[in-house]
């Protein structure tokens, strides 16, 4: 009960942080962030002392993600070139989540242990400094420091779980297409920042989106469905779509608060899937989640072609509504799991 109340309070503080950042009240955001961290700590300690539900645990981790991302996102809007740090963080964290789910589905220990704890402590320290100092030298240093730390942790996880990525049935065409979709995010971002290459960026995005259809079609047709594909396919979609939508916030064509809502849903669902995988249950993407992804991809294409029209506004609104709906549906379908008690809090 106590952990549930603290979980709701932590969500409210996250919403308050987003609200104050959106209004440009940066002088008060460090204080809100600091208080939110104490609420997070209280939620963590309560979960250790009492029997916590998966709802509390998932909320703790989700808000933990979103606090850092909110600080990075809103500060990045004042300096477009550091937006790559935010995209890098999301891409690496989703990739790590996928590796952890694959490891858990094979009954292997998936915890990052001390490295992950230090990693997130550094994240929060840097996020506080960024909010407090803005884009002065210390804030700029924190951006690049976060980027370097994220890369190091991502490479460490890749090395640690390399065997899981390329063993057995994992090496088939659908899974290769899934990995290709993640890799294509890099040239997509580079081309997006060069005005003369925007058309190429659009073509790369369309090709990457087509691979989302192809990998699922080929896996079903040739009976090549694997846990790797079930887990990494929706995560590859998240990386691609989130990167594109975040880039469009720098142009003002997609609202930052909309990104936070979408990211909350994606992170929450991903963490639920990690916990489910630890219990031997691999949760594939549902129909509403697949529809949400398709609409998000169509929205990105429309923002490239008709960024200022009514059509763009309609699809941006539809994207946010479908994201919220699919997230709520996901929580309802897994409500029994979320209400159950965590055997061991981490």
Q: What is the pLDDT of residue 292?
A: 86
* 240 SS3 class: helix
Averaged pLDDT for residues 157-162: 77
Q: How far is CA 21 from the centre of its chain?
A: 20
The CA distance from 295 to 289, in Å, is 10
Task: Kindly state whether residue 292 falls inside one of the protein's structural domains.
Answer: yes
Q: What is the pLDDT of residue 317?
A: 92
Task: Kindly state whether residue 198 falls inside one of the protein's structural domains.
Answer: yes
The CA distance from 15 to 10, in Å, is 9
pLDDT digits (tens, 9 = 90+) for 236-294: 888 889 889 988 888 888 888 888 888 888 888 887 777 776 666 656 566 777 788 88
Q: What is the pLDDT of residue 199?
A: 93
User: How many separate domains does the chain show?
Assistant: 1
Task: Kindly state whether residue 108 falls inside one of the protein's structural domains.
Answer: yes
Task: Kindly state whether residue 171 falls inside one of the protein's structural domains.
Answer: yes
The CA distance from 303 to 301, in Å, is 5
Task: Kindly state whether residue 77 falls inside one of the protein's structural domains.
Answer: yes
Q: Are 257 and 20 in contact (CB under 8 A)?
A: no
Q: What is the pLDDT of residue 188?
A: 92
Instruction: Quickly count: other Cβ atoms within 10 Å of residue 26's Cβ.
Output: 15
The CA distance from 31 to 202, in Å, is 40
Question: What are the φ and ψ backbone dihedral angles of 341, each rounded to 5 degrees?
Answer: -90, 145
Q: Tell whether the model's pLDDT for residue 5 goes beyond 80.
A: no
C-alpha dihedral, 290 to 294 to 300 to 301, nearest 10°:
160
Q: Tell whether the model's pLDDT for residue 345 goes beyond 50.
A: no
Q: What is the pLDDT of residue 46?
A: 66
Tokens of 173: 């065409």
Place of tokens 């962030």: 33
Least confident of 212-221, 245-254, 306-315: 212-221
Averaged pLDDT for residues 129-145: 73
Q: What is the pLDDT of residue 344?
A: 46
Which range marks the domain in which residue 93 is found?
Answer: 2-339
Name the band, by pLDDT with cuts 50, 70 and 90, for residue 346: very low
The CA distance from 108 to 105, in Å, is 7
Mean pLDDT, the chain, integer:
78
Task: Kindly state whether residue 345 falls inside one of the protein's structural domains.
Answer: no
pLDDT digits (tens, 9 = 90+) for 182-194: 888 889 988 988 8
Q: How far is CA 95 from the centre of its chain?
A: 9
Burial grade of 196 (CB within 10 A; 0-12, 13-18, 19 or more): exposed
The CA distance from 145 to 143, in Å, is 5
pLDDT digits (tens, 9 = 90+) for 63-97: 888 888 888 777 665 555 567 777 888 888 877 77
Task: Kindly state whether residue 18 falls inside one of the protein's structural domains.
Answer: yes
């Amino acid at each position: 009960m106590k952990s549930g109340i603290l979980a709701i309070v932590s969500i409210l503080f996250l919403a308050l942080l987003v609200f104050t950042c959106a209004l440009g009240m940066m002088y008060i955001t460090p204080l809100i962030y600091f208080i939110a961290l104490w609420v997070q700590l209280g939620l963590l300690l309560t979960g250790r002392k009492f029997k916590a539900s998966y709802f509390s645990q998932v909320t703790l981790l989700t808000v933990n993600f979103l606090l850092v991302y909110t600080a990075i996102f809103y500060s990045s809007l004042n300096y477009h070139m550091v937006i790559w740090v935010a995209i890098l963080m999301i891409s690496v964290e989703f990739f790590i989540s996928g590796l952890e789910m694959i490891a858990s589905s094979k009954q292997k220990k998936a915890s990052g242990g001390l490295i992950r704890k230090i990693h997130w402590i550094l994240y929060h320290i840097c996020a506080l400094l960024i909010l407090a100092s803005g884009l002065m030298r210390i804030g700029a240093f924190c951006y690049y420091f976060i980027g370097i730390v994220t890369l190091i942790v991502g490479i460490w996880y890749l090395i640690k779980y390399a065997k899981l990525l390329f063993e057995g049935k994992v090496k088939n065409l659908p899974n290769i297409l899934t990995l290709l979709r993640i890799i294509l995010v890099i040239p997509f971002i580079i081309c997006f920042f060069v005005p003369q290459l925007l058309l190429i960026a659009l073509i790369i995005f369309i090709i990457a989106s087509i691979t989302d259809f192809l990998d699922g079609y080929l896996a079903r047709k040739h009976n090549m469905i694997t846990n790797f594909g079930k887990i990494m396919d929706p995560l590859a979609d998240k990386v691609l779509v989130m990167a594109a939508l975040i880039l469009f916030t720098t142009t003002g064509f997609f609202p930052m608060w909309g990104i936070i809502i979408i990211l909350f849903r994606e992170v929450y669902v991903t963490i639920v899937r990690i916990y489910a995988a630890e219990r031997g249950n691999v949760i594939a993407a549902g129909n509403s989640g697949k529809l949400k992804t398709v609409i998000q991809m169509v929205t990105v294409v429309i923002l490239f072609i008709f960024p200022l029209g009514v059509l763009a506004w309609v699809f941006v609104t539809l994207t946010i509504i479908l994201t919220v709906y699919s997230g709520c549906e996901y929580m309802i379908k897994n409500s029994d799991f979320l209400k159950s008690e965590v055997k061991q809090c981490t």
